[in-house]
């Protein structure tokens, strides 16, 4: 007799109509890393990106000097959504970004 495994359907994300979506924009303004959080619809996100472009913000990945750190194995920081850097300890990573209040990002992997 076979033992069929019943598929467990777990929706990864449930869209609650009342709650606006939340976006996190990571960019650089004159070389400084900036994290902007936007709540609302995609229109609000587009407006914020247009506003950021107005003040000279650039996406971090578009910087010509930025090295591609997307080697396999580098986890993404859940806060900044950017690849973490490998620390001196093999197998561990840290997020090189800073928080808005100036502290280093505590995320490690």
- Interface with Zn ion by CB under 5 A: which residues? 77, 79-80, 95, 97, 105, 107
Please tell me whether residue 60 adopts helix, strand or coil conformation. Answer: helix
- Least distance from Zn ion to the Cβ atom of residue 76, Å: 9
Which is nearer to Zn ion, 29 or 42 (by Cβ)?
A: 29
Check if the beta carbon of residue 68 is closer than 8 Å to that of residue 79.
Answer: no
Cα gap 109→95, rounded to integer Å: 9
- Least distance from Zn ion to the Cβ atom of residue 82, Å: 7
Which is nearer to Zn ion, 57 or 84 (by Cβ)?
A: 84
């Amino acid at each position: 007799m076979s033992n069929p495994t019943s598929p467990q359907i777990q929706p990864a994300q449930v869209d609650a109509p009342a709650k606006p979506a939340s976006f996190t924009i990571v960019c650089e303004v004159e070389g400084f890393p900036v994290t902007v959080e936007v709540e609302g619809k995609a229109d609000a996100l587009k407006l914020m990106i247009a506003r950021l472009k107005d003040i000279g913000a650039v996406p971090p990945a578009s910087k010509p000097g930025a090295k591609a750190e997307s080697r396999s194995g580098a986890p993404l920081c859940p806060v900044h959504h950017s690849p973490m850097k490998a620390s001196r300890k093999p197998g561990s990573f840290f997020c090189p970004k800073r928080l808005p209040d100036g502290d280093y990002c505590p995320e490690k992997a």
